[in-house]
A and B are shown apart, each in its own frame.
Chain A
Amino acid sequence: MLRFCPLSVALAALLASQPARAQAPADPAAAPADAPVDELPPLVKDPAVLEFVQAPYPEEAKAAGVEGSVLLLIELDETGAVTNVSVLQPAGNGFDEAAVAAARQFKFSPAEDATGPVPVAIEFAYGFVLDAATKEGAVPQQTSESAETAAAAQEAPINLEGTVVEMGTRRPLAGFPVRVEPPGGEAQETTTDKDGRFAFRGVPNATVSVTTVYPGYDRATEAIEVVEGQVTSFKLWVRNQGYRDDDLISVYQKEKEEVTRRTLTVEEVRRIPGTFGDPVRVIQSLPGAARTPFGTGLLVIRGANPEDSAVYIDGIRVPLIYHLGGFESVVSPDIVGSVDYLPGGYGVQYGRSLGGVVDVKTKTEFPEGKRIAWSTDLLDSGGVIEGTAGKNDQVGFAVAGRHSYIDVFIPYFLDDPDTVIEPKWWDYQLKLEALGREEGKLSAFVFGFQDSLTATSPGNQGTDADAQGALGTEYSTHRLMVAWEKPLNDQLTFRVTPSAGIDGADLALGNDTRLTQTIYLFELRSELDWEPSEAVAVGGGVDFLGGIYDFSVELPFDPASFGEYDPLAEREPYTLASRGSAWGPDVYLDMDLRPLKDRDALLIKPGVRVNYTTVLDQVSVFNADPRLAARWEAIENGTMKLGVGLYHQPPQPFEIYRPDGNVELGSERAWSGELGWEQQITQGLSADATVFYKWLDQLIVPNPDFTSLDDPYFFNEGQGRVYGTEILIRQAPVGRFFGWISYTLSRSERNDYPDENGDDGWYIYDIDQTHILVLTAGYKLPYDFELSGRFTYVTGNPYTPYAGGVYDIDQDFYYGYQTADRNSTRLPPYIAADFRASKLFTFKQWQLELYLDVLNAVRGVNPEFQLYNYDYTESRYIRGLPLIPSPGFEAEFHF
């Protein structure tokens, strides 16, 4: 598979008209510090130019005094030979053809990763720049007098020095040509060193012009006065023409071990409208993810319940990924390195879930020096401080936090001034990473968040005295993780990630109903990888999850009366407090088999995960999940992928708890299979199609005959089936354009009581959406303007209409009744278009990005629910979110 080198290792060329010349390659140390996480093994040796070919300056452009820079994509094979050259960003005026013709004749040394030489592709900016004399129409003539002057200058002391610095980021720029031109004197030229420094000797005492020109950067010229007997020092500030390009490279990266893993780069997804700049929310624009009401961000993946999909942060499971309302994830975007989205067919490293997996990876690379960023939008404000510290910058760090204030704005949307709805959240993160340790990797991550919601409507709290008071909920999570990876020898690598934390939840419904829960959690993931040969790799691990639950329930009446509820019965307050534990050490083992000579051509990955879980000391489940994944590069740039496997999900604690401990519940189970094809059409354009089928059984469903607490609450009786196809056509963000077409055609069905209802019991599941189409596109305009848009079409959710209502006089309430088949009717489709515009301002010391996110700029009826009147004789739709303009800014300082 072809991979890409970061832009910084691409050789930059600078050509002057007479003569054309090449610049030295930029120093790799100048690579952007916040480059995305590379899922492939890193290159141990970058390709280097062995033979550079000068391109002739197009005569027409020279005559017109036009300069230009062509962004090329140069593909190299394992030997370093150029196999293809294409233009990513044309310059016109004959520059493109000249640059391509020259680049085809380049020769490189091979790039290498740990396995040896590998094919790569590099972005290469080929610049065409006129020197000042040519620009002024004069043809420079080097006389014998000037030659003597130049020779004398080389003997003189340094009297003009400086540093070429990138505006906004204050990053020193290596390999930049610097030219000093005294009035009427001989020009001198040099190149910045790895620290961006340059120096000149014997510059005449006068006001001189200092210029640097580099592809991808604006020409920078300063008039500097050189004073006799002094060394004049200054900074030459250069403006980058594309600050955000550097982070887009890893869009090409693909993890081979998973059948369907979609790794996203942070900068790419932050540009998508509707995500509020949150990379985790982009999952909802990818195949397999269903749309959820009001954009709440619940994870409904391949027809599975939200609670059936698992969320991890750096491989450690967390209870949820979004703040209240689903507008933002619980981890600051500045901490996120990448997001892995696995809708199905994932390996044995993940378990205890039937649905998809989202694994948020925190960043592992940090900017040189320090960076401070602050962002503010309609929802919240937050900031991050990151950089390196310690002796020799041995420690990378990032500290981030956010606090919401959406509760301040909500009253302006309310008709009733007495109604109070106050959603609030805050979160914090601290990441520490030991850098440059040859003996292994060591990092620590601390994060936490709290969400709360208070809702009261004094004017309409119902007639139940026990229900008076506010609705309030609050939940929080705090985690400490440490990750340590150590290569034991050439073949063995050991990893361990212990984690501890606390989860809390508090729910109050009125003054007399309250549920509180505290969970003290410990998780340990430990893995050992053994790679005895290129053809075989074996990995094994333990995924231990344990917790102690403290929970209490306060109710205004005894739940024993649930079965035969009588609103006239006298109520006795009921309190239950209990403590229990749940723990389970899952063990997994898998292999990477590469049987073909071309090791990348075929990968077969068998594995098994053994799950043992004890919940609340009442139920123990033991399951073994065999899984198999395979990838076969059947044709050039075309890969077939296959995944089959068994998945188990233990019961939830609330499904198990009984005062008498008499529970017989097992894990829910899913057989999952998928077959797909990936095709790299061009370097930027790819297509991915997957068909999948999932059979669910042993699903936990409520006991339909429940009448008293002596009856079982739940059974492992339900069945389900989910099938469909997912298509992703994607133009990677190379050059100015990026975008993708995501389409899912699927069906999700359930049969809750097959023993009772047989095949007649099958119904379309509540979250089934037949068609999910998302079109996303973005375009970079000149001057750091950027536009992006997203169009969404989703089939409406199914529902069961009510036929009428019957009045319960004692409760003063109508109960609706249904005569139609379950979920026999659908809501109209959801149609919406979102837009985003942004502009980046770059100053010497800092940068400012202003943006405007417009949600639902165009929308259809977009019903989310069918709302009935009090007696179920009338209905209307509750529509989705209206047009929401969300302006915001992000300021970034480097020092």
Chain B
Amino acid sequence: MRAIHALGLLVAAALSAACYEKPVLSESWQLDRLRVLGVRSEPAEPQPGEAVTFSSLVYSPDGAAVPTIWFACLPEAASDFGCDIDPALLESLEELDPETMSPEELAALYEQLVAAGLIGVEPLFPPSWTAPETALDGLDEIAAREGVSALITVQAAPEDATDVDDVELAYKRMPISLAETPNHNPDFSSWTVGGQSFADGASVTVGVGDTISIAAVLADDAVEDYLYVNEDGESEERTEEPYFTWYASDGSFDDTTTLYPINAVLFLAPETAGTTTVMVTVRDRRGGMGWATLLVTAQ
């Protein structure tokens, strides 16, 4: 009966969604604040002991480079929000004053942070990590092919950040496995705007208020077939089912997420002249990610 009462609330929620004005809250596709939009590892699905490098897609309204701090951990060292980092260590970072510390003290602190999972501080130390040799200990052969998901935590904050609200915190999983068909990150090959092809990062010009079709074209090998061993020990061949998430700093979309093979959206350019940043990310649902950027100038 509790389930039925829960349904009642569900109905209420549905009615509320149906009957009221749309919320005047910012929406996730709007690029109007500091955002960590994507993280990818290379390789996307390493084996234990394999070296991994990382990159991120960070949007900053003013276009400035934003410092990021990276941590990595295995699932047993993770909490609900990524890697579980000792609060005392974080507090010590907040009180850090390099000018008053000796090089030895800084080195000791760095070692302490590495032991806690620190893998990078951009732009000074690009993030990198070696997948732990022990990551798959205790797993049988089939489970090892499925692997485990390590957690990668990224914290982005402008240099002048003074408040916790200025900090963007995100986390992502990275499979570590002995998979027969390890995953690879999906990549975009180009943009197609109004029938014309453009490279990643290109700039296009449209009229103010125009509605244009924008397609993000995946590379030929972006959608992979792979083998999965099910609970009965049988190998199944599956195909990835990627999806796209669309962002813009101005204007609007008809859809803000699309499921492969739909890789195009209608974009309504702003009513005022200016340049809009359009971004798209793609996830292959196996941990792989890719992204592309397009600058749309309305005039």
Contacts and interface: CB of A to CB of B under 8 A. Distances in A.
Contacts of A864: 16
Given A419-B18, A812-B283, A817-B81, A294 B4 contact: no
Contacts of A305: 2, 5
B10 interface: yes
A399 interface: no
Contacts of B257: 460, 462-463, 812
Contact of A410 (B2, B18, B172, B245): B18
Interface in A677-699: none
A413 B287 contact: no
B13 to A, nearest CB: 8
B173 A568 contact: yes
B5 to A, nearest CB: 5
Given A307-B1, A324-B11, A809 B22 contact: no
A307 B5 contact: yes
B27 A870 contact: yes
Interface residues of A, number: 69
B26 A869 contact: yes
Nearest to B26: A869
A810 B168 CA distance: 16
Contact of B168 (A322, A807, A869): A807
A423 B11 contact: yes
A566 B12 CA distance: 30
B175 interface: yes
Contact of B241 (A296, A307, A465, A817): A465
Interface string A307-327: 100000000000110101110
B101 interface: no
A413 B20 CA distance: 8
Interface stretch (A205-213, A777-785, A873-881): A873-881
B26 A867 contact: no
Interface in B15-52: 15-20, 22-28, 33, 36, 38-39
Contact of A568 (B169, B175, B230): B175
A810 B5 contact: no
Nearest to B5: A306
A326 B242 CA distance: 41
Interface in A783-814: 804, 806-810, 812, 814
Interface string A43-84: 000000000000000000000000000000000000000000
Nearest to A870: B28
A652 B25 contact: no
Contact of A463 (B16, B27, B172, B243): B243
A298 interface: yes
Contacts of B18: 410, 413-414, 419, 421
Max chain B CB contacts within 10 Å: which of A410, A453, A809?
A: A809
Interface in B225-262: 228, 230-231, 238, 241, 243, 245, 254-257, 259
A722 B59 CA distance: 50
B80 interface: yes
A652 B14 contact: no
A459 interface: yes
Contacts of B15: 294, 325, 421, 423
A548 interface: no
A294 B22 CA distance: 17
Contact of A326 (B8, B39, B285): B8
A507 interface: yes
A106 interface: no
B187 interface: no
Contact of B14 (A453, A564, A806): A453
10 contacts: A296-B12, A421-B15, A465-B241, A568-B175, A572-B230, A810-B172, A810-B173, A812-B257, A867-B23, A881-B19
Given A460-B257, A462-B257, A878-B16, 11 more contacts: A298-B9, A305-B5, A306-B5, A415-B22, A423-B15, A453-B14, A463-B283, A806-B171, A807-B168, A869-B27, A870-B26
Interface of A: 293-294, 296, 298, 305-307, 319-320, 322, 324-326, 410, 413-415, 419, 421, 423, 453, 455, 459-460, 462-463, 465, 468, 471, 473, 475, 505, 507, 515, 558, 564, 566-570, 572, 652, 654, 804, 806-810, 812, 814-815, 817, 864-865, 867-871, 873-876, 878-879, 881-882
